[in-house]
Amino acid sequence: MLKEKRNLMLYKQDFEKFFRLLSETFTIFGPSKTDGSRSFTKIDASDEIAFDYENTKMSLKEFFFPQTETLFFFDTEKNEVKQTDVETNKHDKQNILFGVRPCDAMSISFLDKVFNANNPQDLYYTRRRKSTRIVSFACTNPASTCFCTSVGCGPDSETGADIIFFELNGRYFIKTVTPEGEKTIKSAEKLLNPATKNDIEEKVHLMKTANSNLKKIFDSGNLQKKLDNFNAPYWGKLHRKCLGCGICTYLCPTCHCFDITDEVIKSNGRRIRTWDSCMFSLFTLHASGHNPRPTQKERMRQRIMHKFNYAPKYYGKTFCVGCGRCVIYCPVNMDIRDVMKEIMEER
Amino acid sequence: MRQIEYEIINTVEKLFADKKIDIFIGYKKGTLSLQTSPYFLSEQDDVRKLVWNSFCSNNLAVFIPRIIPNSKSKESKPVGILCKGCDSRSLVGLIKEKQINRDNLFIIGISCPGIVDRRKILSRLDGKEIIGIDEDADSIVVKLKDGEKRFEKEEYLCESCLNCAHPTPSIYDVLIRGAVYSLQAITPDPITKDFSSKPREERWKIFETEVSKCIRCYACRDACPNCYCKECFAEQTKPQWLGVSKGLSEVIFYHIVRILHQAGRCVDCGACVRACPMDINLRLFTRVMVDEVKERFGYEPGISLKDTPPLATFSADDKQEFMTEPE
Amino acid sequence: MNNPYVPMPVRISDIITENEARDIKTFKLIFENKEDEKKFSFLPGQFAELSILGFGECPIGIASSPTEDGFLLFTVKRAGVVTTRLHRAEIGETIGIRGPLGNTYPIQDMEGHNVLIIGGGFAFTTLRSTIKYILEKRNRGSFKDLTVIYGARNPGELIYKDELWQWEKQSGMKTYITVDKGDKNWNPLTLPSPRCPPPYPPPTSGGGQRRGYYVGEGLKEGGRYEGFVPTILKEVAPSPKDTIALICGPPIMIKFTLPILTNLGFVPESIFLSLEMRMKCGIGKCGRCNIGHKYVCKDGPVFAYAELQRLPNEY
């Protein structure tokens, strides 16, 4: 951690210069106007960034943990594994993810616990993680579907970020969070001035308003305890309208379940890992035909329990950051906030 | 609208009071503006939470094969369900394909004025937060922090509703009549006609561009009442028909097979396109199948319980000019 | 750096068909690279992912004991895509292996105690590893009495037959072998059948006193039976005193075995089960094999019954 986090100011008219200086050493990705902020894409010029976006449709996880990833290539005729680019690929340039929402930044700190921890380490994820800096953008105007403050996150949460930006009137308030964050802005140091007392006050006021727009719907700490009741009656009802599709899990920034399969064309093959979802019936189906989670009831329970009960026990964190993607895109309006409320109300 | 809602509530209340049903599937207010949510209610639940408005978009027939698992068994009491024209057509399909038994259903049919496409409205709001919604016969009024916006329903209906030929259910036990959208339905659909008139390369390009957005969440399949297979070809491993990656060829394969499986069965309800999180224009391709089947075989699925689906029968004068030698 | 997803090459040096139905085979594997063999240090109870390029991977318990040098044994039932392909493999073919994965039977805790091993069907694999490990000369002194109860549907479905017949005769262990339904060759060995009440009063405790049950030349302890594993377990009633029980078998066997052990006086802390789940990564990342907040691949596959009682009943 950084001994002293610095508060710096950047005038908006200098942003273009700032961007250019950073792009000399970094490849910059961000929410782009061109794809309607569908996901983080490569940004070549500062004016391509969609600053006013709420959040990208696809979460940040796909940057570190893509939906399809080659673990290695192989030749079936020679019966030989050919190493993947994990070992060989050189990364001359480091990446910056610019304009990440604090919830997504926090989600990466959770995925780190799964993939980056030494138990054993996942090289594919770690490689990308090591070469990437995360620059967050505090949410001054959270969406009605956001519930980050209910799950220990917030519109100005710093967890997972190297640097966090706050948009003030005519200028950006920049806070460095990690030593890597400090190094990231080094080349643009001359554009930055220390924040004054007034700047800090303006920032505090701004975030106060943002925070007040976010209602705390439930307390995820209490929730974990509540959920220890595995056979609670609500599980028999909650799932009924669930269609069993994978939208909530695929758009979720913390869901990280995957499948490993082989793909072969003639003698050229690759072993890939692909996103998978606990909402699918085949997820836990044994080769013998036995399925420990035979209906949507068990599958929905698994998703909720994994996030709010199992993950806190296993990783010490609730695996939900309140980004609201599952709320927005669920085709039957299965609103996780409502599900939580219902669980909390059950005696 | 309110009047119809009362009628639905009264009818359902009576069904429970008369012990005719134990469970009813309708809609309740959603947690998001411009959206409702499927509502499963039993006698002890609040029947007054049932709603009827322009955002009752889910095809509720999708739940029926899941809660009535056996087509042959006669349940002690039928399941009550609210059906728009398209929902009832889906039920007809499920009955004809022997997935469910007509006796296991109590259908409250409702003549449907068309469903408003929430995404069309949202795209006009520049991300502004909606505070409230008002709805009258012809328009939706969206209240924003800085005023309100009026949307004429006619312009904002879902595409499948814009060209719906059967807004009134084809089967029902009770029918609640309301205003129906009065535009003349046209076959082929103007949108697909335009698509079909394009050269093959261009059609392929459009298809490819659309399905390349797919993230394989299978929401299109899972929202569709026709997709009741216990094990979908897309996930079968013995044999494996297609890989699980997001690669273009896999995605194309999945969507082509899904679309072809809908031939002569798709009722053009639009559930798939509304479920898709990636805004893939799925309806465009299934509607081509609908028009094709109608043109070739004069068949529309879901209209009658009696006629035989064209792909389940053979007639000597079936058109077969498409069966040509490969070029 | 070690990539946990890349399999190490191993050569199939022998294939043994274990059962009459011919759907259970044991594969003897030899590492192609000596360094890989050195790294592959394991204890009984662990498993590995067997990999066939173009088909995928499947998690299989290690059937050989770490005391058996120079090779690994895996007993595989033909079920899914990978196991079906594996059954078509020939001697000399190279496949892949990732591991060792998961935890082990509580070998350290078992030392200085009696060990009761209860196995059913083809899930006898890691238990074989354990038996072999205990019977190894330099280890045998660390454990007290060894009792093995093993059952299969019929005599043809018993696996590791040669070893079973050997264990029956071996001193220092009691071996009870049972089948749900015997055949011509099995029946004469079982007199009287445990289904008929014995002509003399049943002894009060200890398997060793049930000698009236065995027939057959040279058997020292134990015997052959007809009946389900839980029934035989009840019949032979091993003492819970100072004993740790290890169980691996089909769910139905486990379901009926646990209450009998409990009735015999075994505490949940002294019963260990090895579980199966659908798995992919085997290293606690892919998120599919959890029972509650435990991953079977990483925190298991061996769980104390006491721990399982605290976890959701979802396996």
A278 Cα distance to chain centroid: 18
Q: Using the beta-carbon criterion (under 8 Å), do C54 and A74 form an inter-chain contact?
A: yes
Q: What is the number of structural domains in chain A?
A: 2
* Minimum-distance CB partner of B243 among A145, A261, A277: A261
Tokens standing for residue A98: 């610019």
Structure tokens at A269: 């093959």
Does A328 fall in a domain?
A: yes
Q: Does A271 touch chain B (CB under 8 A)?
A: no
Which candidate from A74, A283, A310 shows the least CB-CB separation from C53?
A74
Q: According to the model, what pLDDT value does residue C5 have?
A: 93
A294: nearest CA in chain B? B230
Q: How close C124 comes to chain B (CA, Å)? A: 27
Whether B222 sits inside 8 A of A335 (CB atoms) is: no
- Residue C214: what pLDDT? 40
What chains are in contact with C, requiring at least 3 Cβ pairs below 8 Å?
A, B
DSSP string, C233-300: HHHH----TTEEEEEES-HHHHHHHHHHHHHHT--GGGEEEE-----SSSSS-S--SEETTEETTTT-
Q: Which of A52, A247, A276 sits opposite B219 (nearest CB)?
A: A247
CA–CA dist A339, A346 (Å, integer)? 11
Instruction: Answer whether residue A227 is part of any domain.
Output: yes
Same domain? A181 vs A237:
no
For residues A175 and A269, membership in a common domain is answered with no
Model confidence at A85, in pLDDT bands (50, 70, 90)? low
Q: Are residues A121 and A187 in the same domain?
A: yes
Query: Position of tokens 């904002």?
Result: B156
Question: Is the Cβ of C92 closer than 8 Å to some Cβ of chain A?
Answer: no
Do both A200 and A149 map to the same domain?
Answer: yes
Chains that touch A (3 or more CB pairs under 8 A): B, C
Looking at the complex, does the CB of residue A273 fall below 8 Å from at least one CB of chain C? yes
Strands of the A80-82 sheet, one edge to the other = A80-82, A68-75, A268-275, A258-265
Q: How far apart are CA B37 and CA A322, in angstroms?
A: 21
The answer to whether position A2 is within a domain reads: no
Q: What does each of the 315 residues of chain C score in pLDDT, given as a tens digit? A: 578 999 999 999 999 999 989 999 999 999 999 999 999 999 999 999 999 999 999 999 999 999 999 999 999 999 989 999 999 999 999 999 999 999 999 999 999 999 999 999 999 999 999 999 999 999 999 999 999 999 999 889 999 999 998 888 888 888 889 888 877 777 534 444 444 333 333 333 333 333 334 433 333 456 788 888 998 888 887 889 999 999 999 888 999 999 999 999 999 999 999 998 889 999 999 999 999 999 999 999 999 999 999 999 888
Tell me the shortest Cα–Cα distance from B198 to chain A, in angstroms.
26
Q: Which residues of A touch B269 (CB under 8 A)?
A: none
Interchain contact C80–B (C-beta under 8 A): yes
CA dist., res. C178 & res. C225, Å (int): 4
In chain B, the residue whose alpha carbon lies closest to the alpha carbon of C84 is: B238
What is the tens place of the pLDDT at every residue in B77-98?
Answer: 899 999 999 999 999 999 999 9
- Same domain as A224, residue A207: no
pLDDT value for A219: 78
Distance, CA of C157 to CA of C19 (rounded, Å) = 5
Contacts of A62 in chain B (CB under 8 A): none
- pLDDT, tens digit, 9 for 90 and up, residues B52-69: 999 999 999 999 999 886
Which of A246, A263, A337 shows the shortest C-beta gap to B243? A263
For A275, the domain range is 220-345
pLDDT range class, residue A224, cuts 50, 70, 90: confident
- CATH for C107-274 is 3.40.50.80
- Per the CB < 8 A criterion, the answer to whether A269 and A263 are in contact is yes
* A226 in reach of chain C (CB within 8 A): no
Q: Enumerate the residues of chain B whose CB falls inside 8 A of the CB of residue A263.
A: 243, 245
pLDDT at C197: 37
- CA C15 from chain centre, in angstroms, equals 19
Same domain as A114, residue A260: no
Nearest to B247 among A57, A68, A144 (CB): A68
- CA-nearest of A343, A325, A333, A304 to B39 is A333
Is C21 within 8 Å of chain B by CB? no
Residues A115 and A165 reside in one and the same domain: yes
Would you write out chain B's pLDDT as a tens digit for each of its 327 residues?
Answer: 788 999 999 999 999 999 999 999 999 999 999 999 999 999 999 999 999 999 999 999 999 999 886 666 666 789 999 999 999 999 999 999 999 999 999 999 999 989 999 999 999 988 788 889 999 888 999 999 889 999 999 899 999 998 898 999 999 999 998 776 666 777 788 888 899 999 999 999 999 999 999 999 999 999 999 999 988 999 888 788 888 888 899 999 999 999 999 999 999 999 999 999 999 999 999 999 999 899 888 899 999 999 988 888 888 887 777 777 665
CA distances from residue C59 to B102, C98, C101, C271 in whole angstroms, order as listed: 46, 9, 9, 23
H or E stretch covering B271: helix B271-275
Q: State whether A263 and A163 are in the same domain.
A: no
Does the beta-carbon distance from B240 to C81 stay under 8 Å?
yes
Give the 3-state secondary structure percentages of chain B, helix then strand then coil, rounded to 5: 35, 15, 50
Q: Where are the domains of chain C?
A: 8-101, 107-274
A·C CB contacts under 8 A: 109
What local confidence, expressed as pLDDT, does residue C188 receive? 38
Residues A140 and A194 in one domain: yes
Superfamily of domain C8-101: Translation factors (2.40.30.10)
pLDDT in tens, A52-81: 778 899 999 999 999 999 999 999 999 989
Examine the domain organization and report whether A158 and A21 are in the same domain: yes
Q: How far is C263 from chain A (nearest CA, A)?
A: 26
**Any A CB within 8 A of C251 CB:** yes
A272 contact residues in B (CB cutoff 8 A): 243-245
For position C204, what pLDDT does the model report? 38
- In this complex, the residue of C285, C288, C315 whose CB is nearest that of residue A283 is C288
Q: Which residues of C touch A305 (CB under 8 A)?
A: 292
State whether residue C79 sits within 8 Å of chain B by CB.
no
How far is B97 from B225, CA to CA, in rounded Å?
12
Collect all residues of chain C within an 8 Å Cβ-Cβ radius of residue A302: 290
DSSP A170: T
Question: Average model confidence (pLDDT) for chain A?
Answer: 90
